Structure 1
Amino acid sequence: MNTHMLTLPEELMVLGINPGRAKGLVLRHHLHYGMAGALLSELEWRGRVAENRGKVVALAGPAAGDPLFDAGLALLRADKPVRTRRWISRHAGAVSESCAERLVQRGVLRIESRRVLGLFRSRSYHLTDLDLARHVLADFQGAAKLGFPDPRSRTLAALAGAIDLSRRIVPDTGNKKELRRSIRALTRETWSAHAVRRIIEAESSDGGG
């Protein structure tokens, strides 16, 4: 599969899964938050959502033409204007499940379910298209070396930074610290990524209290 056929949340999901292992590179629910933020970014690029003062709303228009985006728009319309952080927290699970199922259908991912202590269902993700995973990572690292030269790469970097994934996947170059500072700045400047980061920081603060 061509990497450009992946949506932004799907691309982030592939980056967040450790090839050859069930354990992800970041906490799974953090990855899911990032994917929900990525969906909002895609909808913004398509002119289907707008963000203002921390709230996001669906804009009028025809169907987006993709089941994932149309489902996201339906959720936004049901919620009316809603705080971005609340929407991401509320729908991150549904977004991630939809993306995972799409990647399974395309032969990129395998999902394994098991019971923990015989009671709780646990799902693990396994990349089955390792060539695609390598290409996705190479694309990210290539963009990083160029300073993330286009809107898509900047948004992906911002979201990866928001969920602490970027530190695991940035290329090992002489300017690694500078690159990390650049990603942190992108996270602050990108409204969807900034919302994701605020959710994670709030969770960490609550856990520490």
Structure 2
Amino acid sequence: MNPAPDLTLPEELLLLALDPVRGKPRCRNRFLEYGMAGAALAELELQGRIVEERGRVAVVMPLPPEDRRLARVLAMLPPPGKSRFSGAAGTRRWVRHEGRTVEGLYLDDLVEHGVLRREKRRALGIFPYVRHPAGAAGWSALVRTRFAQAEAASFPDRRSRLLASFALAVDLTDAFPGSGWRARSALRSRIRGEWAPDAVLRNVRQDKSSESSN
């Protein structure tokens, strides 16, 4: 196993969500897309580059970060003083609109660096689909180990709590084998206090509500 650098929240969420053997998300991929967008926003906030104001993201440090993926995400946000998605639900709409693009950025980068493999297949010999099993770097196993350790310690810091909140928001419940329903319920209540996981959760619930009404 190659030692992993300090991973960002989107990287950790993606590696936590993908089954390392089958290469498929262990939750709905659309939900994971929302989670990836939200996790990228949370990482930018942790770096002091953006803040959330009344449901909208505001860029407070427009200089691009060294991480090229986060630099791309920052460039996708409206510049200071402007808002692409206005109103109280602006952040939630950004997450819904940009989730697939953000997920694609990280998938491409992790494949390029050998952390994931890209396997193109066809269902029934006709319908193309893509899987991303773990690569030789071994980062997927490392992320799962770190997450289990954080879970055992009741997610002691904000970064680990954010990752756990995103995992719950996208319905990645099997990532919590050591937590009972009371612990997961307490963690869900914390999502409301974190704007980025909350935006993800609201999009997930919107999809579920639309499905139930059809």
TM-score, length-scaled by structure 2: 0.88
User: Match for 2:159: what amino acid?
Assistant: R
| 2:174 alignment partner in structure 1 | 168
Count of residue pairs the alignment pairs up? 206
| Preserved CA contact (<8 Å) 1:36 1:96 | yes
Distance 1:134 1:206 in 2: 35
Aligned partner of 1:148 in structure 2 is: 155
Q: 1:122 aligns with which of 122, 129, 139?
A: 129
Which residue number corresponds to residue 34 of structure 1? 35
One-letter amino acid matched to 1:50: V
Question: Aligned equivalents of 2:141 and 2:61: distance in 1?
Answer: 38
CA gap of 1:171–1:70, structure 2 versus 1, over 3 A, is: same
Higher helix share: 1
Partner of 1:183: 187
Aligned partner of 1:95 in structure 2 is 102
1:7-156 equivalent positions in 2, closer than 5 A: 7-77=8-78, 80-81=82-83, 82=85, 83-114=90-121, 121-129=128-136, 131-156=138-163
> Which whole-Å CA distance do the structure 1 matches of 2:56 and 2:22 have between them?
37
Shift of 1:122: 2.5
Please state whether the residue corresponding to 2:57 is helix, strand or coil.
Answer: strand
| Partners of 1:186 and 1:120 in 2: CA distance | 41
Inter-CA distance 130–70: structure 2 relative to 1 (3 Å threshold): closer
Match of 1:204 in 2: 208
Q: Measure the CA separation in 2 of the matches of 1:56 and 1:120.
A: 38
Gaps of 5+ in 1: none
Which structure has more strand as a fraction of its residues? 1
TM-score w.r.t. the length of structure 1 is 0.89
- Structure 2: give runs of 5+ residues left out of the alignment: none
Alpha-carbon displacement from aligned partner over 1:138-177 (angstroms, at most 9, x marks no partner)? 1111111111111110110110110011x201133xx522
Is 1:16–1:25's contact at 8 Å kept on the other side of the alignment? yes
Q: Which has the higher contact order (CA 8 A, sep 6+)?
A: 2
Mapped to 1, the partners of 2:102 and 2:74 lie a distance apart of 12
Q: Percent identity?
A: 36
